[in-house]
Structure 1
Amino acid sequence: MQIGDWQLHAGQHALILGPSGSGKTSFINIVSGLLTPTAGELWVAGEAMSQLPPAGRDALRRRTIGLVFQTLRLIPALSVIGNLALAQQLALGRTDAAEIARLIDRVGLSHRADARPRQLSQGEGQRAAIARALCTKPRLLVADEPTSALDDSNAERMIDLMFEAADATAATLLIATHDGRIAHRFANRLDLAAPQAVAA
């Protein structure tokens, strides 16, 4: 995958749009410091993410990035409230019960706040994961397919929530998806092509 000289400035919202296999998740993992690029440099919040050792990338990610994974990665033993509280504790060294309650209500899960992940539907789990990513007030909010399991109404609601949360803290928002329903919401867009078939 080759992206080239692409920049996303602080406070901007951007969409990476492309079909399966086009490299969206790989790009998200590189931005988040979960993968190391084979060439070039990646800078996040003024730091050279691609040049840091693994422990340094982990620390930078905890300080600056809120992640919504395609596989939700909620902690099975914790409730929705517990998942958000743990994320805050790890990133900020403290918890804010009022902010947790506000976010859970904002994503429409107040009635499921004490539920464990296995008790949630796929759409509810996705909303819980989005709330967890937002609860640390990250400088960069990164989401991989955040609306793929949601109906039209909830997809719009989640994009509204992400825009609102990013704007409230002047955070940068980066979403990778194949979901064309939300493309019209983004002026800044990076379109990735499907991989070319190799002739036999």
Structure 2
Amino acid sequence: MLIEARGIVHRLGERTVLDLPDLTVDAGAHLLLLGPSGSGKTTLINILTGLITPTAGEVRIDGRSMSGANPAARDALRRETIGMVFQTLRLIPALTLRQNLSLAQTLARGRSDAAEAATLIARVGLAHRADARPRELSQGEGQRAAIARALAARPKLLVADEPTSALDDANATTMVDLLLESAAAQGSTLVIATHDRRIRDRFAHTLELAA
């Protein structure tokens, strides 16, 4: 079991923003978290990846406690196990795409692999932009670059937060294809959080959250 979330509750003051029954996801399976804005999708993503601590409940990733770990242990587990594609591009502005991937590899695995980085960049269709800096990339190129960076650590879990919400139908399909194909190529579990119902049929497992 790659993801185990038991009895997750999260409150902000007196308001409960997430109350989730048990959630489990097998290694290599894919999950779509679907719901409108305010339904707790991003909160759940942040809890699963250890960016916030739930008010109650436990999260285990790849058999290791995420919710109960100290900050340093969480950082290590996230770095070693999880690749994240955020709504906003989080590449280092001063580094080229190639250098961003090299840094991600080094942080996760203690070393870089130039050949593997080049393969990832080519896989997302950016071989001709490998030496471009983030500000030189278009929105679509930036999204693909973010996926390549997330995959650089060879994550067991690939998490994407609203990757298609700003895209038209054709580009949304291309983005989901890329995420699914990239996850399959590395044997990663893919979790997408979105309000975009256009991609629902692409996933065998869907968890709907209500506002």
Which sits farther off after the overlay, 133-142 or 163-172?
A: 163-172
RMSD: 1.4
How does 1:7-86 map onto structure 2 within 5 Å?
Answer: 7-86=24-103
User: The residue matched to 2:115 in structure 1 has which SS?
Assistant: helix
Aligned residue identity for 1:12: A
Q: Which moved more, 1:112-121 or 1:9-18?
A: 112-121
Counterpart position of 2:198: 181
Q: Shift of the alpha carbon at 1:123?
A: 1.7
- The alignment's TM-score, normalised by the length of structure 2, stands at 0.87
Instruction: Output aligned runs, 1:27-176, within 5 Å.
Output: 27-176=44-193
Q: Distance in 2 between matches of 1:90 and 1:162?
A: 22
Identity between Structure 1 and Structure 2 (%) = 68
1:111 to partner: Cα distance: 2.0
When residues 138 and 85 of structure 1 are mapped into structure 2, their CA distance, relative to the original with a 3 A threshold, is same
TM-score (norm 1): 0.91
Structure with bigger RCO (C-alpha 8 Å, 6+ apart): 1
In the superposition, relative to structure 1, how do residues 81 and 151 fare at CA in structure 2: closer, same or farther (>3 Å)?
farther
Tell me, in whole angstroms, the C-alpha distance in 2 between the residues paired with 1:33 and 1:118.
Answer: 29
Please give the per-residue CA displacement for 1:143-182, whole angstroms capped at 9, x wherever unaligned.
1112233343333233223222322333211110112221
* Aligned residue pair count: 194
- Unaligned stretches of 5+ residues in structure 1: 195-200
Cα displacement string for residues 31-68 of structure 1 (whole angstroms, at most 9, x for unaligned residues): 11100010011110001111001111000001100111
Which residue is equivalent to 2:5?
none
1:2 aligns with 2:2: no
Q: What letter corresponds to residue 27 of structure 1 in structure 2?
A: L
Of Structure 1 and Structure 2, the greater strand share is in 2
- In the alignment, structure 2 segments of 5+ residues that lack a partner are 1-17
8 A contact 1:130–1:146 mirrored in 2: no
